[in-house]
Amino acid sequence: MHTPTNKPLEHPENIQDKAFKEVFSHAEQAKDFIVNTFPPDLVKKLDFNEFKLDTTAYVDEHLGAFFSDIVYNCLYNGATQIKISLLFEHKSNRSSFPHIQLLRYILCIWETNLKAGEKPMIVIPILFYHGKKGWLYRKFDKYFKGIDKDLLKYIPLFDYIFVNAKNIPYENLVKEFRQDLLKIYIYIVKYMYDHKEFDARITDFIEQLNLENLDENATKLLTASFIYLMRVIEGDPMKIIEKMSKSKAGKIAKTAGEILIERGMEKGIEKGMEKGEYLHAIDNVMVGCEMNMEKEIISKMSKLNLGLVEKIIQLIKDNPGISKYDIYDLLKEEKSI
């Protein structure tokens, strides 16, 4: 059992931002992503022996409302130094004109180049999108009406690589991507708003990961990823924990679930619960029992007081195979609820 931290949970968008930076600040994860999302002809010209993280802050206060960045320096075609910017789009501030924010971002990099006495470097922006809504990709000149060849030369023409997490095929994710942490991260954001698909594929997905012999840092990183998952995915987090607990990721999922509960994911005990809410709470107690969680944690998870949780646990022990409906009826009869 880990030591409780009693820290409050962060806003989901902050968690998403941290998860993105944690994953893509590791060069091997970033390389794997680039290899699987860049045009093949472009990948062939990148020298990954000269692929290094750039820790300079290029996102200013204005741009920070739209995306976060991780930047790498890379050698292109054996001679040209370029920057590859991985940009995580903040879905709460989705831009209708991304080229404008990207142009400002590239100008920030060029200004930094000039201040350092360097020549402006080519920047390849990758915009990584994970929102619910669709994304209409357009060339910059399509923002303007009435453009002909005489006006076209006055518009800065540049492009970006757009990656929508939802459009990454599942088969490609499990077979083509190599880094397990990256696979988990993409799986999370891909199915963040589709808990049915998430649930349908999770067992197969986990079984295809190589989770044996993880070092301490990798384990911490994976645990943090599961915490992120259960904070942002639509659906019942404890159902997800239950399913994962039976897989190779069981220990990590259970630890993540306990951390979430201890930090107050479930806030307080609701009064005046309806039958459906009680059934859901009883279901969570049954899940907690199956996972051998402590009673105090189950109480927080289910939003039921400790005394009621203890009664439910006793009913489960005394009546193997009892359903949540029978438990509800018994509690009703003895006026415990």
Question: Of 108-112, 208-212, 251-255, 286-290, which range is least confident?
Answer: 251-255
How far is it, in rounded angstroms, from Cα 170 to Cα 87?
Answer: 22
Residue 181 has pLDDT above 50, yes or no: yes
Six-digit token string for 192: 């963040």
Question: Which is more confidently placed, 61 or 315?
Answer: 315
Q: Find, among 93, 97, 72, 119, the residue nearest to 13 by Cα.
A: 93
Question: Which is more confidently placed, 5 or 187?
Answer: 187
* pLDDT, tens digit, 9 for 90 and up, residues 52-97: 999 887 876 666 656 778 999 999 999 999 999 998 876 544 567 8
Q: Find, among 134, 241, 323, the residue nearest to 312 by Cα.
A: 323
Q: Find, among 109, 98, 80, 215, the residue nearest to 161 by Cα.
A: 98
Residue 154 has pLDDT above 80, yes or no: yes
Residue 50 has pLDDT above 80, yes or no: yes
Question: Of 66-75, 149-158, 251-260, which range is least confident?
Answer: 251-260
Residue 270 has pLDDT above 80, yes or no: no
- The pLDDT of residue 294 is 81
Residue 11 has pLDDT above 60, yes or no: no
Residue 10 has pLDDT above 50, yes or no: no
Six-digit token string for 210: 């190589």
DSSP string covering 168-188 = S-HHHHHHT---HHHHHHHHH
* Beta carbons within 10 angstroms of residue 327's beta carbon: 22
CB 83 within 8 A of CB 105: no
* Burial of 309 per CB tally in 10 Å (0-12, 13-18, 19+): buried
Task: Compute the half-sphere exposure of residue 31: CA atoms within 13 Å on the CB side of its CA.
Answer: 15
The pLDDT > 70 percentage for the chain reads: 72
The pLDDT > 90 percentage for the chain reads: 29
C-alpha of 225 from chain center: 7
- The pLDDT of residue 253 is 67
Please give the model's pTM, rounded to 2 decimal places.
0.68
CB contact set of 127 (below 8 Å; sequence gap of 6+): 67, 87, 89, 98, 102, 160, 161, 162, 163
